[in-house]
């Protein structure tokens, strides 16, 4: 399973909303929500885009557990 720290990273960045992150990544808010809740695994490209949007390395956002 792929776990993620998107919720915490959003919180660390001044409560960035899911909609704001979605706009930066180029997906819908619902997709960010699904990823955050581990209900959908993003493609590698989107995973990198999320990491870039949050200003961290991809390994800091996603972990295989």
1 counts as binding other proteins under rule CB under 8 A: no
Question: Least distance from C-beta 34 to other proteins, angstroms?
Answer: 4
Q: What is the 3-state secondary structure (H, E, C) of the chain?
A: CEEECHHHHHHHCCCCCHHHHHHHHCCCHHHHHHHHCCCCCCCHHHHHHHHHHHCCCHHHHEEEC
Binders of other proteins in range 15-44 (CB under 8 A): 26-31, 33-34, 39-40, 42-43
59 counts as binding other proteins under rule CB under 8 A: no
46 counts as binding other proteins under rule CB under 8 A: yes
């Amino acid at each position: 399973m792929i776990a993620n720290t998107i919720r915490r990273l959003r919180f660390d960045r001044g409560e960035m909303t899911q909609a704001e992150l979605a706009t930066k990544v180029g997906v819908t808010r619902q997709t960010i929500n699904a990823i955050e809740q581990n209900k959908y695994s993003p493609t590698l490209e989107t995973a990198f885009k999320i990491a870039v949007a949050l200003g961290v390395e991809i390994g800091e956002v996603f972990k295989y557990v």
